[in-house]
């Protein structure tokens, strides 16, 4: 029986699929934050009758939370990951 082929990747580097999955997850997290807070604002607007005011605030708040999360994952935690690979 033939031996399975070992990938010849340098140690410590991620396969492309892992990187694609990681960054897709970050994008989905941003979209979910905007969508959920915007939907909550839309629901509150329906209850209070304040037209699009709370919906807009929710969308902006979701965008801010999503970008903050991206900042943490890509810049702050990314620095720690790179320094541990050395």
Domain membership of residue 4 (yes or no) is no
Domain membership of residue 29 (yes or no) is no
What distances in angstroms separate CA 23 from CA 1, 18, 49, 50, 85, one per listed residue? 38, 9, 38, 36, 19
Domain that holds residue 76: 34-81
Whether the full predicted model's pTM is greater than 0.85, yes or no, is no
4-46: pLDDT as tens digits: 555 555 565 668 888 888 889 999 999 999 999 999 999 999 9
Percent of the chain with pLDDT strictly greater than 70: 76
Domain membership of residue 50 (yes or no) is yes
What's the total number of domains in the chain?
1
């Amino acid at each position: 029986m033939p031996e399975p082929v070992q990938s010849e990747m340098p140690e410590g580097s991620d396969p492309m699929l892992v990187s694609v999955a990681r960054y897709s997850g970050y994008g989905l997290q941003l979209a979910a934050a905007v969508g959920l807070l915007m939907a909550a604002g839309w629901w509150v607007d329906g209850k209070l009758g304040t037209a699009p005011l709370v919906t807009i605030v929710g969308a902006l708040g979701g965008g801010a939370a999503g970008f903050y999360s991206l900042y943490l994952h890509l810049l702050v935690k990314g620095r720690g990951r790179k320094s541990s690979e050395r």
